[in-house]
Amino acid sequence: MKIELKNLKKTYKGGKTALKDISLMLASPSLIGLVGPNGAGKSTLMKLLTANFLPGSGEIRIDGLPLTQQEHLLKASLGYLPQEFGLFEDLTVTQFLDYMAALKGIERKVVKDEINRVITLTHLQDKRKAKIRTLSGGQKQRVGIAQALLGEPKLLIFDEPTVGLDPAERVAFRNLFAEAAKNKLIILSTHIIEDVQSACDHLIVLSRGEICYIGTPDALIEQKSSPSLEAAYMALMEGRDNA
């Protein structure tokens, strides 16, 4: 899968320009970390990529075709964990995943196996029959990640996936994302530098709606004092301090 963003701009109704002029090319397989201070435009960029809303101007192309012509394809091959993720509190974990599988159009005959697979990946085996309202914040976050993994989507977009997870869970998820990224395109936003440093092969640093760095995490961290990378490194650190 290849995603091209060309001169993307997004201004919200109140007049706030969240993204100024974003041009990017993303291709699988890759695990891309999206970082930057609060308000930098990370969630807005993720929502545009998931066709949640349209850009004010500019264009998104998936495998060469405009996103607007492929919304159906994108939804079928997309796993998305938004920042505010509404779970149905009265459903059990299995019921919720079954519902999400139906929304994604996963074939009924493979649903059970697929739910078992994502429950195992997210270590929720002993919570299958628990109502979502009884889960801890970290367990709910794991259910959110589990639903995104349903159907083995080619594109995974996670907005702050490791929020609420304890350090051991975070390490487990970093390993899971790194493994999954071997044949997918994964974009995740995070405040946690260790997430990007150890797992991501690419880093995009956003600041005030603009890209200030694209490259490997190591190159940015190693050359943080070079004049061209100083501002990007500061934005990376500012994102961490906002957490």
Taking phi first (over 0 means left), then psi (-120 to 50 degrees means alpha), and beta for anything else, what does residue 99 get? alpha
**DSSP 8-state class, residue 189:** E
Q: Out of 14, 64, 86, 227, name the contact with ligand ADP by CB under 6 A.
A: 14
Of 29 and 39, nearer to ligand ADP (C-beta) is 39
Of 42 and 184, nearer to ligand ADP (C-beta) is 42
Of 39 and 138, nearer to ligand ADP (C-beta) is 39
Give the integer Cα–Cα distance in Å for 233 and 213. Answer: 9
Q: How far is the CB of 32 from ligand ADP (least distance, A)?
A: 15
> Which of 131, 132, 157, 133 has its CA nearest to residue 145?
157
Q: How far is the CB of 210 from ligand ADP (least distance, A)?
A: 12
Q: How far is the CB of 44 from ligand ADP (least distance, A)?
A: 3
- 155 touching ligand ADP, by CB under 6 A: no
Counting other chains too, the contacts that 164-170 makes at CB distance below 8 Å and 24 or more residues apart are 164/137, 164/138, 164/140, 165/138, 165/141, 166/138, 169/123, 169/138, 169/142, 170/194, 170/195
Question: Reduced to 3 states, what is the DSSP secondary structure of residue 155?
Answer: strand
- 18 touching ligand ADP, by CB under 6 A: yes
Q: How far is the CB of 43 from ligand ADP (least distance, A)?
A: 3
Of 34 and 119, nearer to ligand ADP (C-beta) is 34
CB-CB contact of 122 with 142 (8 Å): yes
Question: Reduced to 3 states, what is the DSSP secondary structure of residue 52?
Answer: coil
Of 16 and 72, nearer to ligand ADP (C-beta) is 16
* Residues with Cβ within 8 Å of residue 112, at least 6 apart in sequence: none
- 16 touching ligand ADP, by CB under 6 A: yes
- Compose the 24-63 pattern: x for residues touching ligand ADP by CB under 6 A, - for all others: ------------x-xxxxxxx-------------------
Return residues touching ligand ADP (CB under 6 A).
12, 14, 16, 18, 36, 38-44
